[in-house]
Amino acid sequence: MKRIGMLTSGGDCQALNAAMRGVVKTLVNSGEKVEIYGFLDGYRGLIYGNYRMLTGKDFSGILTIGGTILGTSRTPFKLIREPDENGIDKVEAMKKNYKKLKLDCLVILGGNGTHKTANLLREEGLNVVTLPKTIDNDLWGTDMTFGFQSAVDIATNAIDCIHTTAASHGRVFIVEVMGHKVGWLTLNAGMAGGADIILLPEIPYDIDKVVEAIENRHKNGSRFTIIAVAEGAISKEDSKLSKKEYKEKLRKRPYPSVSYEVAAQIQEKCGREVRVTVPGHVQRGGSPCPYDRVFASRLGSEAGKLILEKEYGFMVGYKNREIVKVPLEDVAGKLKMVEPDAKIVKEAKLLGICFGD
């Protein structure tokens, strides 16, 4: 009998259910008896012992359903060692509930912060296997995360829809894409949607370069410009500030987000009419695309295989078109950034896309 705990932590995304289904179907089809305990609302469920036993019926028909049947929440890693409001030691509580249920392994699905805590639990002696989910595709040790391609599809569709109204009215349109620290989603959706300008957190922009690109398009006969802006995009001026100074500036910024600031600057500098569209959480919702359904299922299957072979302490990743196991200590605390000189950036520039640099 194998007793497996399972939780989804951090922001939700498409294909979480598909990945969990992949793990469970692999374990069940192995012929070994299995008990699955689903912890509700992420690490919070593991901390406070809020769980329910899951059966095969719970994983039937969920391949195409977005979100997570277990619920999720954010439990910041920087606070994980601090007692809660009732003085409960979170780490000790998680270890206690793991041992209380006599679990053989804990399967954790999450992004960067989730993997930091997962690695901590590994260091504390728990058997852990993780799966890489995030629409940001920013996890170290894997070329792809599930949820990313579905989000790219949604963000691209938003840009596609904006194209027709932008062309009709001859306006500058900004589409703000999710991504506070990393720009993979904005870069891919921007390229797929035919954006003329793409602004990323990793490549600080010069607003004058952005305006110049808009004016050049106008001179060449283009009536409109599409700008894909990551929500974490930053100007060259602001990139020189300390972290503390920048946070203070953001606190006082009179705009809802960077996109509205860029829009105001464009209007001021060249007088063109600018509109901002923010798809927001639509990007992480809905049914997973076919790619993510297959990808998450494959990752889940390999996670189940690791559990059967008692290989713990790994994230199941994807490198060079192969499913691989990556030591958790190599993943935790690292972000996979868009390098300014990356081939995909250079190729985008060859296509005429401006990055404001």
Label residue 220 left, alpha or beta by phi (over 0 means left) and psi (-120 to 50 means alpha): alpha
Torsion angles phi and psi, residue 123, rounded to 5: -65, -25
Contact 278, 258 (CB under 8 A): no
Torsion angles phi and psi, residue 324, rounded to 5: -135, 165
Q: Give the strands of the sheet with 225-230, arranged side by side.
A: 197-199, 225-230, 172-177, 274-277
- Tell me the helices (H) and strands (E) count for the chain, helix number first: 13, 11
Contact 174, 167 (CB under 8 A): no
Tokens of 335: 């972000």
The question of whether 89 is a catalytic residue gets the answer no
Selecting among 12, 58, 136, 196, the annotated active-site residue is 136
Instruction: Identify the DSSP state of 57.
Output: G
Q: Give the strands of the sheet with 34-39, arranged side by side.
A: 51-54, 34-39, 2-8, 105-110, 128-132, 314-319, 322-327
Q: Are strands 2-8 and 34-39 parallel, antiparallel or unpaired?
A: parallel
Label residue 80 left, alpha or beta by phi (over 0 means left) and psi (-120 to 50 means alpha): alpha
Active site residues: 136
